[in-house]
Amino acid sequence: MNVVVLVSGRGSNLRAIFEAIDAGTCSAKIVGVVSDRKTAAALDLAAERDVPTRVVPLRKIDGRERWNEQLAEEVGMLGPDLVVLAGFMRVLGAPMLRRFPGRIINIHPALLPSFAGHDGPGDALEAGVRITGCTVHVVDAGVDTGPIIAQTAVPVLGDDTADTLHARIQVQEHRLLPRVIHQIAIGAIELDPLRVNTPVSDASRSLTVPDL
């Protein structure tokens, strides 16, 4: 299964996928890494492994629709079976969703539907919850709203800061995301029946997910 990974930052999740592939526990091939930021450290990780990289910056002059079209074009040229958002901090629009219907997944550092958005760990801490975690879900047109595939819980500790909490959540992200990718690759999780317009609850029910 050919995977294109979209990144905006450090790339620790990208590294975890590479390492799982190296270890033989994730039967996928990363055929490209695409970023909206040319300074994303994740791009260096890909380049070190001779994986093709592309940068598609969101320019005000082009607007979001055009950016989505450019992104869909670049990602499409890499020929993915699955698109993985691993720390990609932009909301995707219709051109991307139409091009890869039900074939885009995202990792988020909270137990969705709680604490969607750009600061899942900080928002969980602020709300005073005792348990948070990470979620892998199918991407739809909303912000972190698509059908949930898998989650791992992480306790919030009394002396946690947003950074220490995020670091512990990331330990779990690095286990969960490669596992989900592997399960999709071997057909144990089927994304094909999912449609982006299906209500989330129906789409989630139609997902068969093995214990991860």
- 120 is a site residue for ligand GAR (CB under 6 A): yes
Q: In what order do the strands lie in the sheet with 2-7?
A: 53-55, 29-35, 2-7, 82-85, 104-108, 131-138, 148-155
Closest CA to 84 of 20, 136, 157, 156: 136
Span from 31-39, 66-74, 76-84, 102-110 in contact with ligand GAR (CB under 6 A): 102-110
Using the rule CB under 6 A, which residue among 35, 53, 170, 198 binds ligand GAR?
A: 170
- 123 is a site residue for ligand GAR (CB under 6 A): no
Cβ closer to ligand GAR: 95 or 122?
A: 122
The identity of residue 138, as a single letter, is V
Smallest gap, in angstroms, from Cβ of residue 150 to ligand GAR? 13
Binders of ligand GAR in range 33-92 (CB under 6 A):
42, 86-87
Phi, psi values for residue 129, rounded to 5° = -70, 155
Distance CA 5, CA 82 (A): 9
- 13 is a site residue for ligand GAR (CB under 6 A): yes
- CA angle, corner 195, sides to 190 and 198, nearest 5? 120
Q: Containing H/E element for 137? A: strand 131-138
108 a catalytic residue: yes
Cβ closer to ligand GAR: 57 or 79?
A: 57
Cβ closer to ligand GAR: 115 or 193?
A: 115
For ligand GAR, the binding residues (CB under 6 A) are 9-13, 42, 86-87, 107-109, 118, 120, 144, 170, 173
